[in-house]
Structure 1
Amino acid sequence: MTETQPALLAENINVTFGTTQALKNVTLRVDKGEMVALIGPSGSGKSTLLRVSAGLQLADSTSGASRIFGDRVQEKGKLSPGVRRARAKVGFIFQQFNLVKRISLYSNVLIGALGRMPGWQGVMGRFSPEDRKKAMDSLERVGIAEYAGNRAANLSGGQQQRGAIARAMVQGAQAIFADEPIASLDPVSARNVMRLLAELNEQDGITVVVTLHQVDYALKYCRRAVALKAGEIIYDGPTSGLTRDKLIEIYGDEYIGVLDEEGEPA
């Protein structure tokens, strides 16, 4: 089923916070194997769309539905009975890493296996030898195996974010949804994280949907961009189409100064 279904299909999504409509009848399809950047100004709805797609935020009852690899996540503002099965296919990467600070990096990465285990085994910490090996292999893959025994609280932001990606790998995620994964990182760590996501997409075929404030990272690492403004999609196409005029349309005239400093997109 996952071979023929899109990795993500969110249809006619509405989300309202108080008197503010954060998403207005938004539809987004992401096919298996794509790496897509969600861009737009602060408050445009890109993070809300990603969270609704994963079932971390309920849409309005006037909404349609969201599905992950064909498994329904929610419909008309209610979580679907199969939401756990759908979520198991997605590793969600948060801006603030969401690691358990008091335990080791290795233990944090092992947590990714919990969704595939009976509840009692998880509570007892009875991880299989295969899962333990996969945790170390994943830490090696993301380049931080030497810090496996360190408490998460003692790691840098970039190390924690790579740990979160390793956790998704142990989970066996077929897709990664990353919500501003580099917003809190220095430029070197940000490049490392984006390169890692691109590598998992290109080499492992993992679908990646990433929200970004930094347009230059979207241009460099993603072939497709979806731009939101005031809760609506105003651009969906190749990143090569993000010209100076298009970016000014998305972000407003205040973006001209940023373009002048960073160079005009192709």
Structure 2
Amino acid sequence: MAEAVAALHADHVRMTFGETKALDDVSLTVNTGEMVALIGPSGSGKSTLLRVAAALQVADSNSGPVSILGKTMQEGGKLAPGVRDNRSHLGFIFQQFNLVGRLSLFGNVLLGALGRLPRWRGVLGMFPNSVKQAAMDALDRVGIAEFAGRRASNLSGGQQQRAAIARSLVQGAEVLFADEPIASLDPVSARNVMELLRELNKEDDLTVVVTLHQIDYARQFCDRIVALNKGQVLYDGPQDELTKEKLIEIYGPEFEAAFYGGEEA
């Protein structure tokens, strides 16, 4: 039997900004079907790791290879040939939603199909009926089909984030990176988005890697947690083994008062 291909594999990745080591010899493997939370203080390297893995940023020249579903994205400070094609099965959800405000919700979700259509169709907006149906199916799946004709700029934050997820479904993503997807949302919308990501992970076997500041959500929705600080992995394991002592090591001595008001974790 052939060995399963990892959804994400990063080997000794290094990334510096001036004197700051954003990623300091980070290695990480995420298997297909996992839902993994990346946690850690601001500036710990969480978002940088996702952006490097997606080849949205180029790592240092002494950095090892990074691959998605067995396809190399970059290595040694250089993007791999064909990286755009390699990225086709990777969806990326941003905190800022990244929707085109003047387009309808439906129009934004259609854009997820651009990577697998002839360029002229995208330029002319001539999407096949199969793609249009896939877009409506995706909107229905994420629970916002009734707003298909509404301009994206008139949607709530939670609806826009669901739209971004629907766009990734139309893209045919097998791996989904979500970079602080609930940071700008109210508590109800944040929970709804996390429940949707969990549902897609469990029911569709979609691999999800999500950066979070909310430790309680990481513990509730993700079976595995990877914690970073100063560009290094300080914890990688089950959510139920992430102890209060380890969290204090990750976040510093202010953790207890800031997160739990001095109560036991």
**Does the CA-based 8 Å contact 1:71-1:85 persist in structure 2?**
no
Correspondence for 2:10: 10
Correspondence for 1:65: 65
Correspondence for 1:130: 130
Q: Deviations over 1:17-58 (max 9, x none)?
A: 111111111011000000000000000001000100000111
Cα distance in 2 between the residues matched to 1:125 and 1:261: 53
Cα distance in 1 between the residues matched to 2:37 and 2:264: 19
Correspondence for 2:103: 103
Correspondence for 1:165: 165
Correspondence for 1:232: 232
Cα distance in 2 between the residues matched to 1:250 and 1:34: 23
Q: Deviations over 1:150-170 (max 9, x none)?
A: 111111110000000000000
In structure 2, the residue corresponding to 1:88 is in which secondary structure? helix
The reply to whether residue 212 of structure 1 matches residue 215 of structure 2 is no
Report how far residue 198 of structure 1 moved: 0.3
User: Structure 1 residues 160, 176: closer, same or farther in 2, change over 3 A?
Assistant: same
The number of equivalent residue pairs is: 264
Correspondence for 2:249: 249
**Does the CA-based 8 Å contact 1:110-1:135 persist in structure 2?**
yes
Mean CA deviation greater in 158-167 or 73-82: 73-82
Mean CA deviation greater in 184-193 or 116-125: 116-125
Report how far residue 73 of structure 1 moved: 0.4
Correspondence for 1:118: 118
User: Which runs of structure 2 are paired with 1:10-159 in the superposition (5 Å)?
Assistant: 10-159=10-159
* Uncovered stretches (5+) of structure 1, i.e. residues with no partner: none
Cα distance in 2 between the residues matched to 1:47 and 1:41: 11
Mean CA deviation greater in 39-48 or 77-86: 77-86
Per the normalisation by structure 1, the TM-score is 0.97
Cα distance in 1 between the residues matched to 2:19 and 2:249: 25
In structure 2, the residue corresponding to 1:36 is in which secondary structure? strand
**Does the CA-based 8 Å contact 2:256-2:263 persist in structure 1?**
no
Report how far residue 203 of structure 1 moved: 0.1
Letter in 2 for 1:83: V
**Does the CA-based 8 Å contact 1:243-1:264 persist in structure 2?**
no
Letter in 2 for 1:88: S
**Does the CA-based 8 Å contact 2:106-2:135 persist in structure 1?**
yes
Q: Deviations over 1:189-217 (max 9, x none)?
A: 00000000000000000000000000000
Cα distance in 2 between the residues matched to 1:34 and 1:43: 25
Report how far residue 263 of structure 1 moved: 5.6
Letter in 2 for 1:62: N
Cα distance in 2 between the residues matched to 1:3 and 1:128: 37
Letter in 1 for 2:35: M
Letter in 1 for 2:143: G
User: Structure 1 residues 126, 231: closer, same or farther in 2, change over 3 A?
Assistant: same
Structure 1 stretches (4+) deviating beyond 6 angstroms?
none
Report how far residue 259 of structure 1 moved: 3.9
Letter in 2 for 1:7: A
* Uncovered stretches (5+) of structure 2, i.e. residues with no partner: none
Letter in 1 for 2:206: I
